[in-house]
A and B are shown apart, each in its own frame.
Chain A
Amino acid sequence: MAEPRTRIAFRGGGFVLGNRRWAPWIAFVIIIAGWEAASLSGLLPALFMPAPHEVIAALRDLVNSGKLGNHIGASLYRVLVGWALGTSCGLVAGFAMGVFSMARAAGLPVVAALFPIPKIALLPLLILWFGIGEPSKVATIALGVFFPTVVSTFSAVDAVPRNLIRMAQSFGLGMPDILRKVVWPGALPGILAGFRISSSIALILLVSAEMIGTQVGIGAFILGAGNLMQTDQLVAGVVLLSILGLAISFLLSLAEKTLLRWR
C-alpha cells in the first residue's frame, strides 16, 4: 500500500497589513455617497443632518464671502502660537522631570492633579486673567497642550535606554552634551508621537477657545452656526477643521520621516 501523500497547505496568511493607498478614498466616497443618498431619499431629514451638497454649497458661500481666509488665518494663528507656547513649556518641564529626580518627585503629582481638569472649565478664570482678546484664546490652547506634552516628553526621556547614557558618561561627556546628543534624539520619537496628540488637542480646544469674544475663526464659525441652527454651515466648519487636522497630521508625518530616518 502506498504511503498517503499530502500536499502542504499554506496557512500563514492574513494579519499582515499591506499597503492599500486607494482604500481611504473609496471609504470616503462610499460614506459621502451613502449620506447624500440618505438625504435625497428623505431617510435623513434635513432638520437633523444637512446633505453633502448643502455642505459643499455652504463651503462655497464661505469662499465667495471672502471670509474663509480670515477664519483660517485667525484659527491658525491661535493654534500655532498656543501650541508652540504649550509645547515649549511642556518640553522643558517634561525634560526636567525625565532627568532630575527632584523635578520628577515634585512634578508628577502636580501633573496628575492638573492634567484631567477640562480646560474649558477654566475658561472664566482665563478670561479674568487674560481678558477676552487673543491672549485668553492662546492660553486656553497652550494650557491644553502643556500637560500631554509634559507627560509624553517625560515618558520619552524616561524611555531613552540607560545604557546609552552610561556609555556617554564612560566617554566623559558632560551633562549638557549628554542631554543634547543622547537624551534629546533618543526621546524624539516619543516626543513626536506626543505632538500628534497635542496637535489634535489644540484643534479640539480651538472651538472652546473661540467661544469667547470673537466672530472670526473656524471654531467661532462653527459655534455661531450651531447657535443659529445653520447645520449646513456647522458641518462645513467641521469639514474645515478636519482638513486642518489632516494637514497637521501630514506635516507631522513628514517631520517623522525626516527626523526619524534612523528607525
Chain B
Amino acid sequence: MSVDKDTVRRIARLARLAVPEARLEPLAGELNGIFQWVEMLNEVNVDGVPAMTSVVAQKLKWRKDEVTDGGVADALMQNAPEREDTFFVVPKVVE
C-alpha cells in the first residue's frame, strides 16, 4: 500500500496540521519508507489471536460517580493564550 500526495493532504487535514504544498511530496516519501518497513507484519498469521487491550492483567477500577475535584477555573485559565474572564477566546465559530 502506498501513500501519495493527496493522501498526505487528507490525513494532514484530519490531524489538523497545516502542511505546505511543497512538503506533501517529501512527506509521502518519508511515510512510504516507514510503511514499507512495517509491511513485514503481514508475514505473520494472526488468525484467532486476540488484540491486546491491557498489557498487565487488571480490571479497570470502579469508583462512586461523584465529584472529587473542581472549582478551579482560575487555575485552568492561567495558561490560556487568549481569554476574557473565565472564557477562552477563539475565532468566530458560528456565522
A binds B: no
Residues in B lying within 8 Å of A, measured CB to CB? none
